[in-house]
């Protein structure tokens, strides 16, 4: 039965009856019995539709919890973990928790050197998050951080190429742009998504600036970015050797002004993506004005407790979403899905 037609038909009949335009026939007539039977079927069908609508978010939340359990069992096997991500990516298609699965999949791709696939996946997360809710917004920030690290890898590759030709690193990253043009663009990172590739996923380069600024457009065009994904210039410094001061331009440091010491991709990937941050949820209290407060303590029993409301951050951890069976946390790079404890009453 078409639900929209059912809703309109039911509403129209109710309005007509209130206006006296459809007097109810005698209850003993066949017409009255048929009309009553139709009304009962309409009410039951519409009720079933409402139940299914209300159950859908619960099923999706259960699917994410199931995904997290199965993924944790194979997290060290990147091929198996990616297969789990693909399976649950299909189950959660169009759901608010899909960005979590996609973020985890990108982490595994980067861990096995699949930077091209990871960059495309992260770019999609980055540019499609607007208006999609808190989980998508956090996934976009997560993607911004990893894309910045991938951009740094591209710049480091260009620096190595420059050094091979000049036996010194450049004084400024802008010299890489001139060097790039002189080589016919050979030092540009081939793993960067081109407009054509992004277009195949339903996106266009013209959409990128609104989501990420000029650096996002540069990423789509395959250019070396002179800023990180927050639009801030890279912190690039030359350094020499302590005992050979005459040898200038032989070493450098390169960091995102935003990420600082956390800019290195290899170092960031050494941190497991399903650690749970060493926490367990121990308390859950519903606020009488809406929202909830979750209490956490170290799984080891030693350390500081945390208290978080949905959407708040403390100690570098953000409580992104409180679902019926779990609490979703993020530290900006990784996710944690923790079982939600039973509610312990309400607070003003």
Q: What is the pLDDT of residue 240?
A: 67
How high is the pLDDT of residue 62?
87
* Arithmetic mean of pLDDT over the chain: 76
Q: What is the per-residue pLDDT across 90-103, written as a single tens digit (0 to 9) for each?
A: 999 889 999 999 99
Looking up tokens 């399903």 gives: 274
Q: What is the pLDDT of residues 58-70, one digit of tens each?
A: 566 789 999 999 9
CA atoms within 13 A on the CB side of 144: 24
Q: Which residue has the tokens 């497991």?
A: 272
Give me the mean pLDDT over the 305-332 stretch.
Answer: 91
pLDDT of residue 168 exceeding 50, the answer is yes
Q: In the structure, what pLDDT confidence band is assigned to residue 222 with cuts at 50, 70 and 90?
A: low
- Give residue 253's pLDDT band: very low, low, confident or very high (50, 70, 90): very high
Write out pLDDT tens, residues 172-210.
998 887 655 444 444 444 444 443 444 444 443 333 333
pLDDT given at position 234: 96
Q: What is the mean pLDDT of residues 262-287?
A: 87
pLDDT class of 22 with cuts at 50, 70, 90: very low
Least confident of 221-235, 243-257, 309-323: 243-257
Cα 66 to Cα 73, 90, 290, 324: the distances in Å are: 11, 14, 27, 14
Q: How many CA atoms lie within 13 A of 127 on its CB side?
A: 27
Cβ neighbours of residue 204 under 8 Å, at least 6 residues apart?
195, 198
Q: How many CA atoms lie within 13 A of 302 on its CB side?
A: 1
pLDDT given at position 30: 61
| pLDDT for 156 | 95
């Amino acid at each position: 039965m078409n639900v929209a037609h059912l809703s309109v038909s039911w509403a129209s009949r109710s309005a007509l009856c209130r206006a006296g335009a459809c007097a109810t026939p005698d209850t003993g007539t066949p017409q009255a019995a048929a009309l009553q039977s139709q009304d009962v079927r309409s009410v039951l069908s519409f009720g079933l539709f409402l139940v299914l609508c209300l159950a859908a978010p619960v099923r999706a939340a259960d699917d994410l919890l199931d995904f997290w359990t199965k993924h944790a069992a194979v997290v060290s096997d990147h091929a198996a973990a990616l297969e789990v991500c693909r399976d649950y990516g299909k189950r959660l298609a169009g759901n608010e928790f899909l960005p979590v699965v996609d973020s985890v999949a990108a982490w595994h791709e980067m861990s096995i050197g699949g930077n091209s696939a990871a960059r495309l996946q992260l770019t999609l997360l980055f540019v499609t998050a607007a208006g999609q809710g808190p989980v998508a917004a956090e996934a976009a920030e997560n993607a911004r951080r990893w894309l910045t690290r991938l951009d740094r890898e591209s710049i480091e590759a260009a620096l190595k190429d420059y050094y091979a030709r000049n036996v010194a690193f450049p004084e400024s990253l802008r010299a890489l742009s001139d060097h790039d043009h002189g080589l016919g663009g050979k030092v540009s990172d081939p793993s960067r998504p081109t407009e054509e590739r992004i277009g195949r996923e339903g996106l266009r380069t013209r959409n990128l600036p609104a989501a990420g600024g000029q650096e996002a457009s540069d990423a789509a065009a395959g250019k070396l970015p002179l800023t990180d994904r927050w639009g801030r210039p890279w912190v690039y410094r030359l350094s020499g050797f302590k005992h050979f001061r005459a040898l200038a331009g032989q070493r450098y440091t390169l960091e995102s002004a935003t990420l600082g010491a956390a800019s290195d991709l290899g170092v960031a990937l050494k941190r497991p993506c399903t650690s749970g941050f060493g926490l367990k949820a121990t308390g859950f209290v519903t606020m009488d004005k809406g929202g909830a407060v979750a209490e956490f303590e170290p799984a080891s029993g030693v350390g500081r407790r945390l208290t978080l409301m949905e959407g708040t951050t403390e100690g570098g951890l953000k409580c992104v979403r409180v679902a019926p069976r779990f609490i979703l946390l993020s530290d900006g790079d990784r996710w944690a899905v923790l079982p939600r404890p039973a509610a312990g009453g309400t607070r003003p």
